[in-house]
Amino acid sequence: MGMDDTSLITEYPQVKDLMAEQPIFWRNPDYGQQTELPFSKADIFDAVARWERFAPYLATAFPETAGMNGIIESPLIKLDQMQDSWNKMYHQNLTGKLFLKADSQLPISGSIKSRGGIYEVLKFAEHVAMTQSDLVYMDDYRVLATDRYRRIFSNYGVIVASTGNLALSVGIVAATFGFKTTVYMSHDARQWKKDKLRANGVTVKEFNTDFSHVIPQARKDASLDPNIHFVDDEGSSDLFLGYAVAAVRLQNQLKKQHISVDRKHPVLVYLPAGVGGSPSGVAFGLKTIIGPYIHAVFCEPTHVPSVTLGMMTGLNNQISVYDIGLDGLTAADGLAVGRPSRLAGKVMRTLLFGSVTFQDDEIYRNVAQLMDSQQITVEPSAAAGFTAIAPVINNVPAFNSENATHIVWATGGNMMPGSERRANYNRGESLL
């Protein structure tokens, strides 16, 4: 770490609260400044076009996407009953509209990682098909589901390291193409996720260490074979742009639900952050496509506020939560990442409104309330967005107006086994 704890606290007083595992609201002082970004609107539309080329393939290879013609998207759900419950639980009066962006219901892997993870595999498959065979852009991509292509793909491999959901999205899709697929998982990965991957023909390698030690091992193993593609959760631009496509789709959903986004009608989007890749990709998309009046807020566990710590200090991926004495333990498995992505802090420096940290009990209460009020299941990590609303409207009263819209991004959940759902629900109920 660059500086010692005392000088860190002197320069950034909120680090003291992070060290004490106190929930905080951090407002980003660089928000809205002019800066050069490493990606552009054109990059997002390149990704949109690739998703569209692959839609016929996805509709064939994954019948559950056929109803949407192979487009992988999730609903934007108005949460009237949850809003009442939320007001009671937090002793607040949220006057704007509350919505859930239900990536928990995305097809194939049931999480936000269906966006980035699947996209990166599609891009790799397209590259192999075009360089090792005769695929061209105007082809019907259903041809990629044939035995001829499966044989070609079987000479190539995909490796990813993940605490869970990224592994599901990359693993299931890469194995379906026919790639030799290996997933490296840390000790906090849920058993059911490992079981599901193995059932899909994916090799799962388990490590008894935390996530930040697993990634370098996976990266090293992948580098030994030129035919292996490594999906790098700490710095992949393909993952990042796959997530950014969400903004193009959300813009359309906002229009259909008659939600304005302008100076008088701010939209707040609450995104759970682990390594910071998916929420950063989404937030970059939102700012690039929808503009200055949509504001992204990251939500992290008090035990693992890695993106908040990195951005607050400006050290980004040069600092980890272990450097300030935190244990990195949380029940929110997808958020159990001690060191942020290389991309997150750099790209988010002027795009992130702020971030909030929460205690685990709070997300369980929200899991139970969402089930009771709306009959919607999400995994604990995916309820993190609900914890950020109160700190945001209390610190920025202008955002608690009836013209404001609050969107909680539910990052995963509909593939959880029933036993897991019940355990999460019961824990939440017992805390209410």
Domains in the chain (CATH in brackets) are 5-39+68-108+240-431 (3.40.50.1100), 112-235 (3.40.50.1100)
pLDDT in tens, 398-417: 999 999 999 999 999 999 99
Instruction: Give me the mean pLDDT over the 423-431 stretch.
Output: 98
What pLDDT, on the 0 to 100 scale, is given for residue 186?
86
Per-residue pLDDT, averaged over 122-130, amounts to: 98
72 residue type, one letter? I
How high is the pLDDT of residue 3? 58
What pLDDT, on a 0 to 100 scale, did the predictor assign at position 1? 47
Q: In which region does residue 12 sit, left (phi positive, over 0), alpha (psi from -120 to 50) or beta (all else)? A: beta
Sequential DSSP letters for 210-266: -HHHHHHHHHHHHHT-TTEEEE-TTT-HHHHHHHHTHHHHHHHHHHHTT---BTTB-
User: Is 234 or 391 the better-scoring residue by pLDDT?
Assistant: 391
Work out the average pLDDT over 136-140.
98
Q: What pTM was estimated for this model as a whole? A: 0.97
Q: How far apart, in whole angstroms, are the C-alpha atoms of residue 264 and residue 274? A: 32
Residue (of 179, 129, 142, 183) closest to 160 by Cα position = 183
Question: Among 18-32, 52-66, 188-202, 261-275, where is mean pLDDT lowest?
Answer: 188-202
What average pLDDT does the structure give for the chain?
96
Please check the confidence at residue 222 and state whether its pLDDT lies above 60: yes
Those residues whose C-beta lies under 8 Å from the C-beta of residue 62, and which sit 6 or more positions away, are 70, 107, 108, 176
CA within 13 Å, CB half, 286: 28
Structure tokens at 291: 């503009």
Q: Is the pLDDT of residue 116 over 80?
A: yes
Q: What is the mean pLDDT of residues 239-250?
A: 98
- Cα separation, 413 vs 272, whole angstroms: 13
d(CA 139, CA 320): 46
Average pLDDT for 180-199: 93
- Structure confidence at residue 382 (pLDDT): 97
**Residue 375 is encoded by which pair of tokens?**
């009959």
- Which strand (E) or helix (H) includes residue 206? strand 203-206
Report pLDDT for 321.
97
With the CA atoms of 276, 410, 38 and 24 taken in that order, what torsion angle do they form, in degrees rounded to the nearest 10? -50
Q: Is 91's pLDDT higher than 50? A: yes
